[in-house]
Amino acid sequence: MSFVVGRSKALSGASRRVGDLPGYSYFVGSATFHYLGPAFAVLLFALVPPVGVAWLRIATAAVVYAAWRRPWRSARRAGRRAWLTVAGMGVVLAAMNPVFYLAIDRLPLGTVAAIEFLPVIALAAAGVRSSRNGVALVVAIAGVFLISEVRIAGQPLGFALAFANAALFALYIVLAHRVSRQSRLGGIDGLAAAMLVALFVVSPFGGPAVFGSLLDPTAVAAGVAVGVTSSVIPYVCDQLAMRKMARPTYALAVSLLPATATVIGILVLAQIPTLRDTLGVCLVVLGIAIHRERPARDPDPGQAGAKAKRRWAAAAATSSGSRR
């Protein structure tokens, strides 16, 4: 009995320590894994069609989240507004992933990434209220431009898919930020419910695309790896980061993703960056370092910290109960 109690206290303490980490630390985890999945997916396209890879990604994430969080328990207490937000996020996820893979199947990844970040930077610009943050945004834009090398290349369908993916990615940021701050069916539970919605929506056209590859254990294992690295680890980090970061701050920090894509390209795909790419990475990192959030509006920081610790303690208790 003492061992069980000690283990429970240790898990609760670990959860509180995780909850006390600053928002940018979660974003680093998200940024690291955000492009590991696409790098694996590019290698997987030889075995599974892009839409099939998207289905494997969503299905893997949905199964992991359902087993871990059991979101239907929180869903029973959620209101209509929370349900609509989560459902909207699920539909966006179901559309965004296949569209993204179809786009990078037709256009260079750098071109798709450049287009993807245009509405993201617009979100950041909407939240700029100081000259310091204005300079940070300009520097980040310059870095993203240098890294992505915006150019007209490829076919019209590829560009249509790339711009559709960009719009969906911006919508994902808005909806995910709302889900992360919901009191009921919010945070990771909301993400888990949204992923189940995404699986339901994507299955009619994604399932048949992957059906012929289900007997290939290599393809299935690679698809599971894509799902975990693309939709589990980074999305959990996203939710934790969004809980502590203002949306404009998060949108600006997302500019770091092309920089991490460069590093992942070196490590996974042996894509050595040019001098221009290296300069772009440095500018993006500089822009993020310059940027500053607004001070919290809560008049009693101590009370806010106590509330946060109580939320994390409750989350730890819920997680412990789910394991039983």
pLDDT in tens, 188-224: 888 889 999 999 999 998 988 888 888 888 888 999 8
Residue 58: pLDDT band (50, 70, 90) is: very high
Q: Give the pLDDT score at 96.
A: 95
Considering its fold, how many domains does the chain have in total? Answer: 1
For residue 157, being part of any structural domain is answered with: yes
Which has the higher per-residue pLDDT, 152 or 43? 43
Q: Which of 265, 269, 294 is nearest to 281 (CA)?
A: 265
Residue 95: pLDDT band (50, 70, 90) is: very high
Query: Is the separation of the CB atoms in 249 and 291 below 8 Å?
Result: yes
Which has the higher per-residue pLDDT, 48 or 11? 48
Token digits of residue 198: 């995404």
Q: Give the pLDDT score at 92.
A: 96
Q: Give the pLDDT score at 276.
A: 78
| 14 pLDDT above the threshold of 60 | no
For residue 225, being part of any structural domain is answered with: yes
| 52 pLDDT above the threshold of 90 | yes
For residue 133, being part of any structural domain is answered with: yes
Contacts of 196-199 with C-beta under 8 Å, sequence gap 24+, read: 196/62, 196/65, 196/66, 196/71, 196/90, 197/86, 197/87, 197/89, 197/90, 197/91, 197/93, 197/94, 198/58, 198/62, 198/90, 198/91, 198/93, 198/94, 198/97, 199/58, 199/59, 199/62, 199/94
Instruction: Round the average pLDDT of the chain to a whole number and report it.
Output: 75
Query: Is the separation of the CB atoms in 191 and 233 below 8 Å?
Result: no
Residue ranges making up the domain that contains 150: 22-291
Instruction: Please give the Cα distance from 121 to 140 (Å, whole number).
Output: 9
For residue 309, being part of any structural domain is answered with: no
Question: Among the listed ranges 60-69, 230-239, 254-263, which one has the minimum average pLDDT value?
Answer: 254-263
For residue 11, being part of any structural domain is answered with: no
Q: Give the pLDDT score at 125.
A: 64
For residue 187, being part of any structural domain is answered with: yes
Instruction: Please give the Cα distance from 216 to 231 (Å, whole number).
Output: 22
**Which tens digit of pLDDT belongs to each residue from 106-147?**
877 767 776 787 776 667 666 666 777 778 778 877 877 776
Q: Give the pLDDT score at 157.
A: 87
Query: Is the separation of the CB atoms in 60 and 228 below 8 Å?
Result: yes
**Which tens digit of pLDDT belongs to each residue from 220-237?**
899 988 989 888 888 778
- Tokens 């789910």 sit at which residue? 322
For residue 9, being part of any structural domain is answered with: no
For residue 17, being part of any structural domain is answered with: no
Which has the higher per-residue pLDDT, 322 or 63? 63
pTM for the structure as a whole: 0.72
